[in-house]
Amino acid sequence: MVEPVQKTMTQAEYLTWEQRQTERHEYVIGFVYAMAGGSRRHNRIALNIASFCLTNAPEHCRIYQEGMKLQTDSAFYYPDVMAVCEPEPDKDFFETSPCLLVEVPSPGTKDIDLREKLLTYQSLPSLETYLVVDTDAHFVRHFWRNEKGVWQQQDSTDTGDISLACLGTTLSMTQIYQNVF
């Protein structure tokens, strides 16, 4: 279970407080939640995707792996991989307009990634693609916004290509799971 630290904070209090912490915390409507460390597979998958993006994305896009906060209307998250192609926001400590988000669930975060973050991420006007990547099998759940702005979804197993529209490139299952199993 994900336990909140007891005291509630405003967004401004959280941002100041978190800079002094030795571990990272997400923030959801007043509560902060410590982030668990990831498994080796989790880290390899996230790094595979982030390094593919870094190599293939247009120059003006910023790629992050786990270390950068995303601000939504009521929360701050640390996405496992985030790509942002909009101009830099004024604030140094978070992004607000990603076009690609990736989560690699661990046992404690699966429901959050497939439910809460899915709903919250899909409400971001800038987002075009959200991937949830399994660590136990070759399995990716792929959500994307079509030309009409309607969210679509598809599961990919084993092989196949996933379009990363905002980066103008295609990511393969082989690249995601390279050296993972």
Partner 1 sequence: MFESIQPSLSVQEYLDLEKSSKERHENIGGHLYAIAEASQRHSRITGNIFTALWALSNGLGCRIFQNGMRLRIGEATFYYPDVMVVCEQEEPDPYFEVNPCILIEVLSPSTKTVDLREKMLEYKRLPSLHTYLIIDPESLFVRHLWRDEEGVWQQEGITGSGDLPLPYLNATLSLSQIYRNVFN
Instruction: Indicate whether 145 belongs to the interface with partner 1 (CB under 8 A).
Output: no
Nearer to partner 1, 53 or 75 (CB): 75
For residues 131 and 160, the answer to whether their CB atoms sit within 8 Å is: no
CB atoms within 10 A of CB 15: 17
Nearer to partner 1, 155 or 161 (CB): 155
Q: How many residues bind partner 1 (CB under 8 A)?
A: 33
What does 128-171 look like in DSSP terms, one character per residue? -EEEEE-SSSSEEEEEEE-TTS-EEEEEEESS-EEEEGGGTEEE
Report the sign of the C-alpha dihedral through residues 137, 151, 46, 158, in that order. Answer: positive
First vs last Cα of the chain: how many Å apart? 27
CB atoms within 10 A of CB 56: 16
CB under 8 A: which stretch of 17-25, 62-70, 128-136, 169-177 binds partner 1? 128-136
Instruction: Indicate whether 12 belongs to the interface with partner 1 (CB under 8 A).
Output: no
Instruction: Indicate whether 10 belongs to the interface with partner 1 (CB under 8 A).
Output: no
Helix (H, G, I), strand (E, B) or coil at 101: strand
Report 49-108 residues binding partner 1 (CB under 8 A). Answer: 74-75, 105, 107
Q: How far is the CB of 31 from partner 1 (least distance, A)?
A: 7
Instruction: Indicate whether 136 belongs to the interface with partner 1 (CB under 8 A).
Output: yes
- Applying CB under 8 A, among 16, 21, 39, 122 the residue interacting with partner 1 is 122
Q: In this structure, what are the phi and psi dihedrals at residue 166, rounded to the nearest 5 degrees? A: -70, -20
Q: How far is the CB of 52 from partner 1 (least distance, A)?
A: 22
Instruction: Indicate whether 135 belongs to the interface with partner 1 (CB under 8 A).
Output: yes
**Tokens read off for 9:** 């904070």
Q: Binding residues for partner 1, per CB under 8 A?
A: 1-2, 4, 8, 28-31, 33, 74-75, 105, 107, 110-112, 114-116, 118-120, 122, 134-137, 139, 141, 151, 153, 155, 157
